[in-house]
Amino acid sequence: MKTRTLLSLFVLLTLSLSSCLKDDVEVRHIVYTPEEYAAISGVLNLPNDQVNFGVDLPQHMKNLGMVPPQISNAKATLGRVLFYDKQLSRNQTVSCASCHHQELAFADNKRFSEGFNGELTLRNSLALGSVANFKSSYEGGSTFSGSGQPQFFFWDERAHTIQEQSSLTLQDDIEMGMDLNELSSRLSAEEYYRVLFRKAYGTDVLHPALITEALQEFVNAMVSTSTRFDEGIAAASGDPFRDFPNFTQQENLGKNLFVQHCSSCHGANMSISPEKVANNGLDEVYQDEGVGGVTNQNTDIGKFKVPFLRNIALTAPYMHDGRFASLEEVVEHYNSGVKMHQNLDHRLRTEDGSGPRRLELSQQEKDALVAFLNTLTDETLVTASRFSDPFK
């Protein structure tokens, strides 16, 4: 009784306090002076309020030991503008967003994407916004990833940070073809960039490392946490093996099949991928050697990044070369199409290891797997205005 009275008093007090606040002072966090805002708003659709890029992880991820990235709002704001700016490519024709579209979970819907000169990329664009893409996870390394190995970037994992990835992409002969010092001077000429750099770094002397760091901050802020899968695992107290109350029977069947046949590589919790790279039997002879092309080790030929499957329904076509147009084709690959290779992962082989495994799923089971993969779509991430194109 006593606690209840106290509680209602407290509620009343906070209610009246907050309504006072609302009536009397308008709480705004103005970021730019009128002159600065004039320079910015000529070109950009940015509010003169602090845009919050902070990331809050759901409990089921915290329970795995994951730490949310600490994002600087000013750096992420600058990174957002850079991400959508075509001036980042040599002839000003493509931006990062040309191959990473927000509505497609920052992937592209083509097998290969068009670079600044119309040439096609050698691999399929990767989606962004997966939970282990952020700094505290890939730099934290052993603290949370099951196998003690942080997961790196690109299909062959040749970049260790997004800063490194961005630097390679900007200078790539097919993708953006840009000289980094030339880029710094090109951007310095824009008054809005001088303002944004001052806010982020306290200086308007641009430097390539600041450009790539701001891009990294923006990409690190993209964290998918709001899917039907997340609702389900929260309701199941973080246990991916239990039936999820918000799933249909078909989706739960699909989840069980996924846990049984797919999760030892892709992860059952959709947060940490237990296997970083693997050969999943796409070919008997690999033209693109993947990790093997980077390490020159025979044992790495045909191994590629085990991609995160969040938003997978939005990121067709699939695999490093975009060879599969639909999730049905992907499931059929694992069901009946896995090919033998010296590096084929043991999980995709028959028990004696001599040949590729056949799942022999029924049509109903294949449909259920696809239905499950469709629960991984994060509408919040793909519509959030803080990740959208800021250019007018």
- Decide: residue 375, CB within 10 A, 0-12 exposed, 13-18 middle, 19+ buried: buried
Least CB distance from residue 155 to ligand HEC, whole Å?
Answer: 3
Task: Return the number of the residue (172 or 231) whose C-beta is nearest ligand HEC.
Answer: 172
**Which residue from 43, 74, 83 is spatially nearest to 191, judged by alpha carbons?**
43
Q: Which residues lie below 8 Å from residue 180, measured CB to CB, with a gap of 6+? A: 167, 170, 171, 208, 211
Q: Which residues lie below 8 Å from residue 117, measured CB to CB, with a gap of 6+? A: 91, 174, 177
Q: Left if phi > 0, otherwise alpha if psi is -120 to 50, otherwise beta: which for 237?
A: left
Least CB distance from residue 112 to ligand HEC, whole Å?
Answer: 7
Least CB distance from residue 310 to ligand HEC, whole Å?
Answer: 10
| Half-sphere exposure (Cβ direction) of 96: Cα atoms closer than 13 Å | 28
Task: Locate 89 and state its tokens.
Answer: 């490519």
Least CB distance from residue 48 to ligand HEC, whole Å?
Answer: 26
CA 377, 162, 70, 66 torsion-angle sign = positive
Task: Return the number of the residue (100 or 194) whose C-beta is nearest ligand HEC.
Answer: 100
Task: Return the number of the residue (137 or 280) whose C-beta is nearest ligand HEC.
Answer: 280
Task: Return the number of the residue (115 or 208) whose C-beta is nearest ligand HEC.
Answer: 115
Least CB distance from residue 115 to ligand HEC, whole Å?
Answer: 4
Task: Return the number of the residue (261 or 341) whose C-beta is nearest ligand HEC.
Answer: 261
Least CB distance from residue 14 to ligand HEC, whole Å?
Answer: 42
Residue 162, amino acid: I
Task: Write out the residues near ligand HEC by the rule CB under 6 A.
Answer: 83, 88, 94, 96, 98-100, 113, 115, 121, 123, 125-126, 128, 133, 153-155, 162, 165-166, 169-170, 175-176, 215, 219, 261-262, 264-266, 275, 278, 280, 282, 304-307, 309, 312, 315, 318-320, 330-331, 334, 345, 347-348, 369
Task: Return the number of the residue (155 or 244) whose C-beta is nearest ligand HEC.
Answer: 155
Task: Return the number of the residue (64 or 313) whose C-beta is nearest ligand HEC.
Answer: 313
Residue 282, amino acid: L
| Calpha distance 110→140 (Å, rounded) | 33
Task: Locate 114 and state its tokens.
Answer: 């068009």
Least CB distance from residue 231 to ligand HEC, whole Å?
Answer: 21
Task: Locate 150 and state its tokens.
Answer: 């942080």
